[in-house]
Every structure is written in structure tokens, then in C-alpha cells.
Structure 1
Amino acid sequence: MDRDNETRVTEFLLLGLSGQSEQEEVLFGLFLWMYLVTIIGNFLIILAITCDSHLHTPMYFFLANLSCVDICSSSVTTPKMLVNHLLGCKSISYVECMTQIYFFIAFINMDGFLLSVMAYDRYVAICCPLHYTMIMRPKLCVLLVAVSWVITNLHALLHTLLMVQLIFCANNSVHHFFCDPYPILKLSCSETFINDLMVFTVGGLIFLTPFMCIIVSYAYIFSNVLKLPSAHGIRKALSTCGSHLTVVSLFYRAILGAYMHPSASYSVQDTVATVVFTVLTPTVNPFIYSLRNRDMKGALRKLILRSRIRKFQS
């Protein structure tokens, strides 16, 4: 194919999740509500952890980072869809699309790394309680988060640089509400073998490493918990892991469903799976971590009470 004669696209058309205007109206309202809940819920968690000195522990430090990433990941995809719907426009420029792909990959991978770090924190707390403060020092916590950010951004940069090397010709319609890498790859009129190879090698490694860390951490946790003499002790130990396990299962089941296959076989079912971890998971995370956690509920009550007192005094 003569690339000099090809007309390269300067924008993509985001067709959304449904081709019918009535359904798009419903989806707009649903996504707007979920986005607002995501921003408010995760912001409240960050604020509660920041303001309550009792929550200045490694577990809540990682939770605050997870909430921050959830806000960012939702803000990468959903606002563009909402603005396009309000303006009656479906277009996204090529540069905006590539930027969206970069931050989407970075934040989604960062979610996985933070979940693995939180699993390690739970392992240390349950299996090595006497050495917890010595192992989970503030410097180590910051280092774990910083290294995770470096790895995920380098990974996102790799895939984005490979993406911009591709040629996009006549077809620029994306059957999604954002620039998901797989649907974009399907539109390319150039060879995507290297992109798919990097997804399965580097991408697979970036995906499997935190996932295996979570599996190993919980294998040790459960083996130690089962040795506890009382049922009360077992319930108490597992209660600290319940919220985290719920988020992990929701997140990784959606990731496995969407991306653990070649880009050419990307389908409607995969689109639904991406909605789960890009929109649904960040929305429900604050509820999962607050409703099943006494300390978080107490901190949120204090936060709300303080705001009411200040409002009354003013």
C-alpha cells in the first residue's frame, strides 16, 4: 500500500455505546450521575484520611492514592463523552485520542499496582503483626507508590509511541465512548503485529506481576488465618481484607474479559467489560471501602459534623 497517497485521519468519531438516541440519553444521565458520585465519593475519602490523624497509616495512605487514581482515571474518559453529548458532537482529535490512550493505560495499570501494594500491606499486618511498623515504614510506602507510578507511565508511553507509528486511513469511527486502545488498533490500515506482541508480552507482564503479588499475598494470609484458634479471630482478620478482595475481583475480572485476547477479536462484550473498570469500579470503590470499614465511617462522620458546625457558625 502506498502510504504517500493515504489520507491520514486528523480526528476520530466516538459513536458511544449505543446507536440509538434514546438509549444515548439514558446513558448520558447514568454516566453523569456515576461520574459525580465517583468524584464526590473518592474526594471525601481523601479528605477524611487527610483530616483524621488516626487514619495516617500505610493502609489508608494507599487507599487515598487509590481514590486519587480513580478520580483521574474517570476524568480521562467520561467528561469527553459528556461534553460531546451536550454539544451534539462525536469527534475527538487525533492528539486528544492519543493523550487519552496514554493516561488511560497509566491510570488503569496504576490501579492494579496499588491493589497489589495494598494486598502486601494486609499480608504484613496479618502475618507479621509484631514487625508491621518496622516493615511498613513511611519511606517504603512512598517508594512503593513512586516506583508504581514510574513503571505504569513508562508502560503507557511505550504503547502510545507504538500507537502513533500506525497509519489510520478512511475509517475513523470508534464504537466506544472513549479512545480505548483495542478499538483504535482495529481501525489501523497498517500492520499491528508489534502492538499486539507488546500487549501480550510487556502488557501481560505489567498485568500479571501485581495480580500474582495479590494471589501470593492472600495465599499466605489465608494459610495464617486458618491457624488462628478462634472463629472470632478468623472473622476479625478476614474483615480487614473483605473490601480489598471485593475491589480486586471486580477490577481483574473486567480486565481479563476485555484485554486478554488479540485486538482483532475485540467485541461488544469487551466494551461492556471496559465500562465496568473505567466507570463502575471507581464509582463503587468509595462505598465498598467506607461502608465495610468502621474507621472510615467514623472519619466521614467527623468530617460531615465539622462541615455542619462551620456552616452553623458562619
Structure 2
Amino acid sequence: MELFNAALEKNITFMHPPYFIITGLSGIPNIKHYYVFLFFVYIVSVVGNTVVMALIYVDHNLRTPKYIAVFNLAFVDLFGNSALVPKLLDTFMFNHNRISYNDCLAYLFFCYTCLSMQSFNLAALSYDRLVAIIFPLHYQVKVTHKFMFSLIASFWVFIIVAVLIAVGLITRLSFCKSVIINSYFCDHGQIYRLSCNDHFPNYVISCFYPVLIFWLPLLFILLSYLYIGYALTKVATVREGFKAFKTCIGHLLLVAVYFIPLLITFTLMEKIHPNARIINLSLTSVFPPMLNPIIYVLQTQEIKESIKKILNMKRKCKIAVGNAKK
């Protein structure tokens, strides 16, 4: 970071505050009930995503290119909620609303990285469905383990670099005004607006970042499904088209859970009360990681079969142990 600052501006001392104060959820009536709800969401998210990751790791039938992306999504959901929710609860439930400057930037980095990776991961899964339905005979060639690993790895590198640039630009800001962040975590937009020197590069990043991380993956997903829908209208029978589309239902639900709340919140941003907006944004951050594993377990036949197989193996083991004791 020091080299980054030196490259941007020389012989300038940046005034970094010793801490920030996060106040986004303070003072909202009956907010403690919301904290209980967030704790429940976090526990379900941890259990659900851990189960999905364990199933994919244990069951060799699930070690396909598609489930590499599913495993990565479960990991990102688990890691993202673990980065966000415990600190959020500690901040507001126990009034530990002061966070050091460096910890705040680290908090920002991990939260933004995981939230961004969810979006790109959904785009990767939409590509998988696109090839599986439009080019079924070439699926094994086009979507290989190596391809999916490379795609996911490139997304990680791209997002980490993008978020590091945003964090690096914050380190060149001086803070001589307030240190109060009116959000539920160390939000980039809230932080750079507190600075007292030129923050135009940060403003550019804040405008460019949502397009790159949110709108481009969403556009790709929508175009993919428009193409899939168009292709399915050319299928010989309705039954075949429905059977093919059924394989997309789980992914479509994941897309809806992630993108629709964000679209509603940002569309009605100016019309929503600030407190309600903060709660809505926090829900859009923590709710999809809880629902994603539930949706995949309920909607994906391969995972349901894997669960049945594991349960049957456990039952047979218990019967064998019981017979041995007799």
C-alpha cells in the first residue's frame, strides 16, 4: 500500500484516523429482533453450505465441472457470511462499533470480494447451463474440469485485483472530518465520502464497480437464458423443452434470490427510508448465502440422490453393527 501511495502522490502525508465508528443499525426500533434473525440466518448458512461442500467432496459422482462452480459458490457463501455477520453482530449487539483503520479496510476487502464472487459464480453456472442445453453433444469437450477451474480462478484473480484497487485508493485519502460510517459494515462509498481531499478516483471506482461486478454478469445471465428460451422453442416437443428447462430451475432461483432484492433496493433507493435501506442491503448480503444450499438440495436431483445414498450407507452400517453385536 505504501508503494501504491508513493506512486500516486509524492511528498504528501495522508491523515488516517485511528478508527472508524459504524453506526448504520444503531437507533432503529426493535432492532434486536433483527440481530436474532441474522444469527439464525448465519447458522443455517454455515450448516447448509458446509453440507453442500461435504457432499461434493465425498461423492465422486458430483465431481463434475458444474459442481466445481457449485462448490465454489458454497465456499464463497460460507466465507462471505462468516466475514460479515459475526462482526456485524459484535458491532451492534455488543456496542463494539469502533473498528481500527486497517481492520476496516480488511473488512471491506473480504466483504466486497465475496459479494462480487457470488455474482460471477452465477454467471459461470449460467454458462454451464447454456452449453449443456444448446450444445449437449459438445458439453464434455467445452466444459471440462480444467476449463471450469481456470474460469473460477480467473474470476478470483480479477475480483481480488479490482477490490485491492478500491482499497488502495482509499489509503491515499485524508480524513479530517467525521469518522462515522452510516452503514452496517465498512462500505467503500461511505468511507471515501468522509475524506477531505480529492476523492474523484474513488467516485469513479464506485460508479464503475457496480457495472463491472453486478450489471455485466446479470446481462450475461439474461442473454444466456434468452438464448436458451429461444432454442427450446425450436425443440420438437413441449415435453423435451420442459425437461431441458427443468435443469435450469435451481440456477434461476439462485439468480432471482441474489439479483432481484438488489434491483428493487437500488431502483427504489431514494424512496426508501435510510434505516429501511440499510436493513434491505444487509439482507441482500446475508440472505442468498443461506438460501443457496437449500435451493440446491431441494432442486438438484444429483444432490438429493447423493444425500439418499449417504443416508442408506449409514443405515446399512447401523444394521451391520447391530447384527455383529448379536
- Residue of structure 1 aligned with 2:151, choices 133, 144, 168: 144
* Contact 1:225–1:234 (Cα < 8 Å) also in 2: yes
Q: CA deviation at 1:239?
A: 1.3
**TM-score when normalising by structure 1:** 0.87
The CA distance in 2 between the partners of 1:119 and 1:110, in whole Å, is 14
Query: How does 1:163-242 map onto structure 2 within 5 Å?
Result: 163-242=170-249
Kindly provide the amino acid, as one letter, of the partner of residue 201 in structure 2: I
Q: Name which one, 1 or 2, has greater alpha-carbon Rg.
A: 2
Aligned length: 309
Alignment partner of 1:53 out of 43, 60, 71: 60
Specify the alignment match of 2:49 in structure 1: 42
| SS class of match (1:228) | coil
Relative to structure 1, the CA distance from residue 23 to residue 77 in structure 2 (aligned partners, 3 Å threshold; closer, same or farther) is same
Deviation at 1:191, TM superposition (A): 3.2
Question: Does the CA contact (< 8 Å) of 1:257 and 1:273 recur in 2?
Answer: no
The unaligned stretches of length 5 or more in structure 2 are 1-11
Which secondary structure state, in structure 1, belongs to the residue aligned with residue 131 of structure 2? helix
Deviates more, 1:42-51 or 1:302-311: 302-311
Tell me what 2:17 maps to. Answer: 9
- Cα offset, 1:213, TM superposition: 1.9
Counterpart code for 1:154 = V
Relative to 1, partners in 2 of residues 1:119 and 1:167: Cα closer, same or farther, differing over 3 Å? same
Deviation of residue 268 (structure 1)? 4.0
Q: Which amino acid in the other structure matches residue 157 of structure 2?
A: V
> Is the CA contact (8 Å cut-off) linking 1:183 and 1:266 kept in structure 2?
no
CA contact 2:123–2:217 (8 Å) conserved in 1: yes
What SS class does the counterpart of residue 13 from structure 1 fall into? strand
* In the alignment, structure 1 residue 121 sits paired with structure 2 residue 143: no
* Deviation digits for residues 144-182 of structure 1 (CA, Å, limit 9, x no counterpart): 011111100011111111122222234222233211222
Instruction: Find out whether 1:67 has 2:78 as its counterpart.
Output: no
Residue 195 (structure 1) shift: 1.1
SS in 2 for 1:169: coil
> Structure 1 residue 224: deviation in Å?
0.9
Preserved CA contact (<8 Å) 2:189 2:206: no
Unaligned runs of 5+ in 1: none
Q: CA deviation at 1:17?
A: 2.1
1:160 maps onto 2:163 in alignment: no
TM-score, scaled to structure 2: 0.84
Aligned-partner Cα distance in 2 for 1:5–1:122: 52
Cα distance between partner residues in 2 of 1:147 and 1:222: 28
Tell which deviates more after alignment, 96-105 or 192-201: 192-201
The question of 1:90 aligning with 2:102 is answered: no
Q: Secondary structure at the match of 2:99?
A: strand
Shift in Å, 1:16: 4.3
Aligned AA (1:15): T
CA distance in 1, matches of 2:216, 2:179: 34
Which stretch shifts more, 226-235 or 248-257?
248-257
Corresponding letter in the other structure for 1:302: K
> Tell me, what secondary structure is at the counterpart of 1:9?
coil
Aligned partners of 1:9 and 1:170 also within 8 Å? no
Deviations 1:16-66 (A, max 9, x none): 42415x723212211111111111101100111111122121222111110
Match of 1:275 among 282, 289, 296: 282
Cα deviation for residue 69 of structure 1 reads 0.5
Query: Superposed, which structure 2 residues align to 1:16-27 within 5 Å?
Result: 16-20=24-28, 23-27=30-34
Q: Is contact 1:45-1:300 (8 Å) kept?
A: no
- Distance across 2 between alignment mates of 1:259 and 1:266: 13
Correspondence 1:76 to 2:49: no
The 8 Å contact of residues 56 and 62 in structure 2, kept in 1 or not, is answered as yes
CA distance in 2, matches of 1:179, 1:310: 49
Q: SS where residue 12 of structure 1 aligns? A: strand
Is the CA contact (8 Å cut-off) linking 2:15 and 2:174 kept in structure 1? no
Aligned partners of 1:191 and 1:11: how far apart in 2?
Answer: 21
Q: Counterpart of 2:5?
A: none
Deviates more, 1:168-177 or 1:88-97: 168-177
Residues 311 and 154 (structure 1 numbering): CA distance in 2 closer, same or farther, change over 3 Å? farther
One-letter identity of the residue aligned with 2:89: L
Distance 2:255 2:74 in 1: 14
Q: State the secondary structure of the residue aligned to 1:92.
A: strand
Is the deviation greater in 287-296 or in 267-276? 267-276
Contact 2:184 2:278 in 1 (8 A): no
Partner of 1:187, secondary structure, is coil
Q: CA RMSD in A?
A: 3.0
